[in-house]
Chains A and B, each alone.
Chain A
Amino acid sequence: MTIIDELREGVIQGQANVALEKVKKALEEGYAADVILNEGLISAMSNVGQMYEDGVVFVPEMLIAARAMDKALQILRPYLVAQGVKPVGKVAIGTVKGDLHDIGKKLVAMMLEGSGFEIIDLGIDAPPEKFVDAVQNKGADVVALSALLTTTMPNMKTVVDALKQAGVRDKVRIIIGGAPVNQAYADQIGADGYAPDASSAVRKVREMLGV
């Protein structure tokens, strides 16, 4: 097993300490930061994502794996910057107005970050203006909307409409997710896509941006 394999394994098992130790060791051994990112972290998370989609692991395993990945990424980030590795895209993500639940959003944000995206985290209960601002002034390529409740899902449409109103709808791709929504709802409100879980969200965002 190479150190990269060990790093990958540590992330998959959700062992943050192992991931931290292995990422440091890999750097010491002279692995390039982007290799560690791609073959260690991203590969681990797509592995976990696949296991989730296959029903082998559940949300807790995803969360602790994402946390281990996130810890390792914090060590790796300065090296990525030094190596000139640019984010593959910028995603503004938030839970829509009235919705205070953010486990899903958090997981998607961590998975996207681990896949090389820059995240603008708009938090929970985010009003449409925040999303518009992220597109107008912060260069978001993708807007990702989350809602857990059927009572708040209509506020996804409000964001789509606000982006239209601000004249920036065609500058950005919109993806939605959360327990009560599906592809049909994405179509009805004029979003570009829907993802049922965090790993398919990453796949979908990559597809949308062609990266």
Chain B
Amino acid sequence: MTHYVALTCSALARSVYAVAADSQPIISVRLFDQGLHNVPKNLRARLQAEINAIPAGSCDAILLAYGTCGLATVGLQSHSIPLVIPRAHDCITLYLGSRQRYSEEFDADPGTYWYSQDYLERNPDSSVALGAASIQISEAVYQQYVAKYGQENADYLMEVMGEWGKHYNRAVYIDTGLQGGAQYERIAREQAERRGWRFERREGDRRLLHMLINGEWSEDEFLIVPPQHRIQQMADDRLIQAVPL
């Protein structure tokens, strides 16, 4: 029986569990906190440590339910077990089901803040952003700034570091169609209203995750990293390639 270990960002937890529950192969899902994304090299180190700890021969492939995510997954190395990763900028591609669909959404409105159920239920203090790397400064961090740098500097930092939010104009809630989503859609809608963003809703599509988990890895949409190779960034829209260690 085919057995894959799926290293999964907690932002995709429900979607990956949903696909894994109904998959052909045996899937062992291992979750990693979405907040790791804030410092990509920490996320990379955690994933690499996990990859290194999986004994040779204990599974057929290690799946990465990630995109390049601020280059966090670039540089990851396979040892004896191949790695498989979608060719994706970030989790929005995995939520929407294809690179093409994400790129259409992005081109239509680059100033989009994305929401999903997992994102909201596992990130109550909004210390992470889905997809793009900007984060909001929480009240707690603001108070730390006041204590450390004084009121005036703290206000300046809030203004500068929060400025991206003023250039955003759309919030999109991705509905994955799973239990309990409605209340999070409501939260997303409220946040959007507070920030003056137009609110939209999109149907999620688990197509890519389904392909990842069921071993349907087309060259165009997935990168297979053979043993003794590492992931390298590419300048074209394939995004990543495997190069020998």
Given A100-B164, A101-B164, A125-B110 in contact, is the A150-B153 Cβ separation under 8 Å?
no
Task: Tell which of B89, B233, B235 touches A149, judged by Cβ atoms closer than 8 Å.
Answer: B89
Task: Tell which of A60, A100, A150, A157 touches B149, judged by Cβ atoms closer than 8 Å.
Answer: A60
User: Does B168 interact with chain A (Cβ within 8 Å)?
Assistant: yes
Given A60-B157, A100-B168 in contact, is the A150-B145 Cβ separation under 8 Å?
no
Assembly CA distance A148 to B161 (angstroms): 13
User: Does A75 interact with chain B (Cβ within 8 Å)?
Assistant: no
Select from chain B the residue with minimum beta-carbon distance to A151. B89
Given A102-B164, A151-B89, A179-B70 in contact, is the A16-B152 Cβ separation under 8 Å?
yes
Shortest CB distance A82–B (Å): 29
Task: Tell which of B89, B133, B233 touches A184, judged by Cβ atoms closer than 8 Å.
Answer: B233
CB–CB A180/B70 < 8 A: yes
CB–CB A64/B157 < 8 A: yes
CB–CB B110/A99 < 8 A: yes
User: Does A14 interact with chain B (Cβ within 8 Å)?
Assistant: yes
Interface size class of B (residues with CB under 8 A): 20 to 34
Cβ–Cβ < 8 Å partners of B40 in chain A? 179
Shortest CB distance B171–A (Å): 14
Assembly CA distance A78 to B182 (angstroms): 59
CB–CB B110/A152 < 8 A: yes
Q: Mark out the residues of chain A between 136 and 194 whose CB falls within 8 Å of any chain B CB in the assembled complex.
A: 148-152, 154, 157, 179-180, 182, 184-185, 188-189
Assembly CA distance A35 to B150 (angstroms): 29
Shortest CB distance A206–B (Å): 25
User: Does A98 interact with chain B (Cβ within 8 Å)?
Assistant: yes
Shortest CB distance B234–A (Å): 8
CB–CB B106/A151 < 8 A: yes
Binding site for A on B (CB under 8 A): 40, 67-68, 70-71, 89-90, 102-103, 106-107, 110-111, 132-134, 145, 149-150, 152-153, 156-157, 160-161, 163-164, 167-168, 233, 235-237, 239
Nearest first, the 9 closest Cβ-Cβ pairs linking A and B are A100-B167, A188-B235, A98-B110, A64-B153, A150-B89, A151-B89, A101-B164, A150-B68, A100-B111
Binding site for B on A (CB under 8 A): 14-16, 60-61, 63-64, 67, 98-103, 106, 124-125, 148-152, 154, 157, 179-180, 182, 184-185, 188-189
6 additional contacts, CB 8 Å, given A151-B102, A154-B235? A14-B153, A64-B153, A101-B133, A102-B164, A124-B167, A149-B89
